A and B are shown apart, each in its own frame.
Chain A
Amino acid sequence: MPSITSWLNKELILQIVRSTGWISILYFLGLFFSVPLVMIMRYSDERYRLNDMQVNSLFDYTFEIQIGLLIVIPVLLSVFLFRFLQVKQSADLMHSIPMKRGKIFQHYVLSGIVSLLLPIGLIAISVFIIHNLLDLGEFFQLKDILYWVGTMSVLNLLIFMAGVFVAMITGISAVQGVLTYILLLFPVGITLMTLFNLKFFLYGFPSDYFLVKNLETLSPLTYASLLNGRLLRSEDIILYIVLTIVLYGLSLFLYKKRKIESASEAIAFPKLRSFFKYGVTFCAMLLSGMYFGEVQTNSLGWMIFGYTIGATFGYYIAEMVLQKNWRVFGRIKGLVIYALVVGIFLLGIETLGFYENKVPDESEVQSVLLADTPHVYMDQASFDHNFVPNPLKEKENIAAVQKLHQQIINDKDIPVELKENEYMIPAFFLYELKNGKKVIRQYQVYERVYEDFYKRIYESEEYKRATNEIFHLNINHIDQITISANGPGKRNVTINDIDEIKELVQVLQGDILAESYQDQIYFSGRGPSIEVFLDKDHFAYFEFKPTYKGVTKWLEDREVLDQARVMPEDISSVQIAEWNEKDYEYDFPEQIVEKMENNSDVLKVIEKEEIGEILNNSGWGRTHKYIVVLRFEQDNYTDILYLDEEHTPEFIKNHFK
């Protein structure tokens, strides 16, 4: 291709190599020590060879060094390459010579690309040679080498072009380096900060729901830092290549537009300066707001303090960078205007409340999902079996959910007084509307306040069927069910027979359908547990509550009930005392037992029938009236349970009267 070779100016390329060639050499050496050499080192140690050589991808060879180089080298190269543009004298020299700007730019960028790709290519070749010499086919294949070369090239070029792009915008090399990393992390950072801040300002904003959505793929840097654990997806490769090309085009355009005299200006384009200034102000405000919002949960005063501090810091730092002087405190006008605009904006969303007050109309709603976690749709790629509840479609349930939702909104400003052992739970709403849109909200609520609302929904058959995993298991895939009691001894029952499994699942489903909302809460967490194992790596967890009559009978019929739960015969005695927060909160069982020894008013029960009654009625419910210490026959083992007013047997009430 004579046209290209004659277009290339060898002297200019020689100059570029003379001034930045060392980066390429450094890159090669760094990669050489972290990939081929490490390969040989691990191979040579025969004891650990099998273990150490086994890799998912070539990134597993001293990943930290590879990723460190990947993050540092392309930016370093872009800074050194375009140093000539940031130094007045060299910029003058380079632009006084008869060479068009486009040509100068292309010479520098193309040389940069070659200096990045050359070391990567050489490393790939040396890995290939080692692969053949040592016969490493059992550890990795040629396609792994190609994947490595491809991924490294794509990421290197994108990071490099980002650096080049920033070089066009700024006139100071140090600023170029810093701004490049900020630019690269910006998509992740701004998303994170916006989500967190909206959570504070928009009551019901489902930030957690959005946060779980592949945030790390938004920046090539965070993506790169995960390369040892995941593959670069083909759609991301295409996106990165497109971005690289776009950045190249933009940089070339800006280079031609750029004024040579802007060398040593922090921001080369005057029009971008206010954008930069207020951008930094805004981001610093969000960052500081996020910090104070998280540290001092839901305190409006601290939030505003955080915003003020952040915006002021950001504004003056940007101003200092632009003026290249730290004495800029007199320039307060811009900050005041900014504060006014932000204030009016925030006041606007707060008072208008379009977002906060919106509960979709019943006629619009196709279905609704109510959950106590915003993480219902976890990243499917990283969790093999993640049960996703079904949304509710019945009219009555939709209406009930809306009622609950509306009530939560109405109660927005009512302060919550939590009792000591209680906490708020998330209430997550996801409406699918008939027009295809979604309305998603997330709140922290004090569930007890909304008991009546929850009861109606939770006790409906549709809700139980939609949200309980027992209704979604593929029974034919179940290998085994294990019911384990807490307490010492051999206590567990395993069912392997497929017909028995089917029966038990049906019985359990029946018990769950019959269960009341109060019992569901009161008895949850106290055991025994029912574990269902399917398909090797999938298992589901349920509870065997004393109210599950069907399961109890089913186990009784097979004479294994005494293995599946704690029986009165296992207990030597039970001690009961009135619950007092101050006495028992946060203590370990041993300490609670010790305290009870010193308590004068303790009821000791040894009657088996009474013990049985206690075992069937005590739980981990939210309100404690009495504290119950079970002393097992075996091993001097003790266990703690609680009773609330409603479930307390008569003989206990009588004792404490």
Chain B
Amino acid sequence: MIKMQNVSKTFDRFKAIENVNLSIQKGSIYGLIGSNGAGKTTLIKLLAGIYLQDQGSVTIEEELVFENLSLKERVFYIPDQPYFLPQYTTKQMAQFYKSIYPTWSDERFQTLVAWFELDMKKRIHTFSKGWQRQAAFILALSAKPDVLILDEPMDGLDPVVRKKVKNLLIQDVADREMTILISSHNLREIEDICDHIGIIHKGNLLIEKELDELKSDVHKVQVAYKDGVPEQLLSKLNVLHTEKRGSVFLCIVRGKEEEIIGQIQKTKPVLLDLLPLTLEEIFIYEMGDIGYAINNIMVE
């Protein structure tokens, strides 16, 4: 269980994050969404024990992270731009990490290198950006951490590799109950692997939600009537948003699927369709005014 309580961090009078409360369950994949400069990296570096918060506490399993050796041995951090010791090859990096992370597995390393078909005797800084990121993933997963912290990990990866990496991550979560914090400025990029989502905007964590809960709770309905929309329909449903397109009436409704359908069918519509919502739409409709602010964040 990772917890941040009332955490604030200031850089030279510029408040990077303010009063953030966040909790990540063990074995979950937590997606941290925010635009550039929202405070994602700061939050992540606090979790990785690089920065020290000015206020509040950052804990993993109720222990403070900063300068906590036994805890940090179980945490691995991949920065937004993977960085390696100068002139090092993947193999040398592996030796370096091996000397530092007690959970390091050579076997895992060999397997992953083979699977990604990476030349581990080549200096990493000569690799392309995407290959460097793959090397970083190989090294991180070989360290077998309990907590993996990834800052914008999908940048520069092609869809095939992206899929590969996602599978690996999910597999580790399933096998070892690894916890992952993954940040992105793009919700669509990570929505398929996250089970929890937190949205950070201007240093504040706006919401934190479980995805399944969100998805089963909000529905997009398309209906059409011969003689206009009956008055009683809207009053009986928890409607978040309505829109009229010609004679078709579109609304976003919160509630259980069967109940909504039941209610609408009572009013005898000519047309009734239940459409899937993207995560993006859910956030936008769910959150009203703030949602529109978030909309700007996510339309990138």
Contact = CB atoms under 8 A, between A and B. Distances in A.
Kindly state the interface size class of chain B when it binds its partner.
20 to 34
A412 interface: no
Contact of B96 (A11, A89, A260, A261): A11
Nearest to A91: B50
B81 interface: yes
A98 B12 contact: no
Contacts of A348: none
Nearest to B45: A92
B69 interface: yes
Interface string B62-82: 000001011111010101010
B100 interface: yes
B79 A99 contact: no
A18 interface: yes
Most-contacted residue by chain B among A9, A15, A19, A98 (CB, 10 A):
A98
B77 A96 contact: yes
A365 B138 CA distance: 84
B293 interface: no
A96 B65 CA distance: 11
Interface residues of A, number: 23
Interface in A375-417: none
B127 interface: no
Contacts of A89: 79, 81, 83
Given A15-B85, A18-B87, A270-B12, A97 B100 contact: yes
Interface string B141-157: 00000000000000000
Interface in B180-229: none
Contacts of B49: 95-96
Most-contacted residue by chain B among A19, A96, A261, A270 (CB, 10 A):
A96
A96 B50 contact: yes
Interface string A92-133: 110111111100000000000000000000000000000000
Given A90-B83, A92-B83, A259-B52, A98 B100 contact: yes
Most-contacted residue by chain B among A9, A89, A261 (CB, 10 A):
A261
A239 interface: no
B81 A260 contact: no
Interface in B20-77: 45, 48-52, 67, 69-73, 75, 77
A10 interface: yes
A459 B165 CA distance: 102
Contacts of A15: 85, 88, 96
A15 B86 CA distance: 9
B115 interface: no
Nearest to A99: B100
B69 to A, nearest CB: 5
Chain A's interface: helix, strand, loop or mixed, by majority?
Answer: helix
Contacts of A259: 51-52
A10 B51 contact: no
Nearest to A270: B12
B193 to A, nearest CB: 23
A100 B69 contact: yes
Contacts of B69: 98-100
Contacts of B71: 98
B5 interface: no
Contact of B48 (A90, A96, A100): A96
A93 B83 CA distance: 7
B50 A260 contact: yes
Contacts of B50: 91-92, 95-96, 260
Nearest to B74: A98
A9 B67 contact: no
Interface in B271-285: none
A12 interface: yes
A535 B214 CA distance: 105
B70 to A, nearest CB: 8
B67 A101 contact: yes
A12 B97 CA distance: 10
B121 to A, nearest CB: 16
B72 A98 contact: yes
Nearest to A89: B83
A96 to B, nearest CB: 4
Given A96-B49, A97-B72, 9 more contacts: A11-B96, A15-B88, A15-B96, A18-B87, A90-B86, A92-B79, A99-B100, A260-B50, A261-B11
23 contacts: A11-B98, A15-B88, A15-B96, A18-B87, A19-B86, A89-B83, A90-B83, A92-B77, A92-B83, A93-B84, A95-B49, A96-B45, A96-B72, A96-B75, A96-B77, A97-B97, A98-B71, A98-B75, A98-B100, A98-B101, A99-B69, A259-B52, A261-B11
